[in-house]
Amino acid sequence: MPAPRTTARPIIRADSRGEPKWNAKWSRGGRQVWRTIGQAWVEPDGIGGWRRRKGRPAPGHLTEQEAVAAMLALVAQHDADQTRLERQAEERRRRGATLRELAAEWLEHVARVKGAKPSTLTDYRSLLAEPGVPHRRGNGRTHGRLMAAFGDRPIGEVDVQEVDRFLRALDLDGLSARNVNKHRQVLSAIFNYARRPTTYALPANPVEGTDKRREAPPVALDFYEPEEIEALARAAHAGQHRGPQPTDLPEGEPAARAAEDAQDAELFRVLAYTGLRLGEALAALGRRRLQRAPPHRSARPVG
């Protein structure tokens, strides 16, 4: 890789708050790189540019000479880091990456490029965990079935028969068809990533020749019938959802509770007939109460 080409001097650019910052700009391998170096010890010159401020720079501020030195060090460090990564990638291409290495690259790709949801990434990491890793909660440990079976295997040596034996072993271990399919899906996605010309140009995906397990159809949802919804609303209106109530309530409390019961009855109807989530309905109810609340009056001053 040719040495990086840099600008002659660092550049001053104002950030979102208008603070001047030293910025480094250079090109490496045809790709432009921008990095912020630090705060600049400058002030506006009145004609659209910047000039050095008088006095000794405040802590955390850099003069132009200091920014140049920091920029050269930054470029050199970035070049060394990228060179190391390129050599590691070339070494993996030469000897063949293991599935463990490939899975790590695929996870980063899914997170940064595809923008997968955090819950999705959590599921993927759980399936790709090493065997025996303690769970974040509880006393359990991960099975790590994928890593135990394929973690150290060069990806070019994994064939259809090996994947099929792995899936059959999951069946014998008592995993549900859905769980087996999840292992198969993640393994297939990883090998599809390896087939790209920009990654490992793997000629084929060994998972494609295996069978997907037939999953049981989802359980039908049991919805409340309109008669049941109205019966629930009537019970709430009558205060039956409160349970036994004391008989010696203070004056005005029975009427206040009756109003709340009527409101609860209508809330049950809204939730059932509109499909609103409970949190959404409660938030809307809270906003309505705020709108109807009387204006706050300050205490009358004494004297």
Domain ranges of the chain: 5-95, 99-194, 223-242+260-290
pTM: 0.49
pLDDT at 8 (0 to 100) = 62
Please tell me which residue, 67 or 91, carries the higher pLDDT value.
Answer: 67
Mean pLDDT, to the nearest integer, of 242-253? Answer: 85
pLDDT at 1 (0 to 100) = 57
The whole-angstrom separation of Cα 285 and Cα 300 is 32
Find, among 85, 90, 121, 124, the residue nearest to 199 by Cα: 90
Per residue, the 3-state secondary structure of 126-178, as one string, reads HHCCCCCCECCCCCCECCCHHHHHHCCCEHHHCCHHHHHHHHHHHHHCCCCHH
Please tell me which residue, 26 or 95, carries the higher pLDDT value.
Answer: 26
Torsion of CA 150, 151, 156, 157, to 10 degrees: -50
pLDDT band at 289 (very low <50, low <70, confident <90, very high): low
Tokens of residue 11, six digits: 């550049």
pLDDT at 134 (0 to 100) = 86
Q: Are 23 and 35 in contact (CB under 8 A)?
A: yes
CB atoms within 10 A of CB 238: 13
pLDDT at 291 (0 to 100) = 56
Answer whether residue 87 shows pLDDT above 70: yes
Find, among 123, 96, 116, the residue nearest to 183 by Cα: 123
pLDDT at 301 (0 to 100) = 40
CATH number belonging to domain 99-194: 1.10.150
Answer whether residue 48 shows pLDDT above 90: no
The whole-angstrom separation of Cα 292 and Cα 303 is 33
Answer whether residue 278 shows pLDDT above 70: yes
pLDDT at 297 (0 to 100) = 41
pLDDT at 137 (0 to 100) = 75
pLDDT at 275 (0 to 100) = 83
Mean pLDDT, to the nearest integer, of 207-228? Answer: 88
Answer whether residue 188 shows pLDDT above 70: yes
Percentage of residues of the chain with pLDDT beyond 90: 51
Q: Are 190 and 103 in contact (CB under 8 A)?
A: yes
pLDDT at 282 (0 to 100) = 78
Query: Which tens digits make up the pLDDT trace of 130-183?
Result: 999 887 777 888 899 999 999 999 999 999 999 999 999 999 999 999 999 999
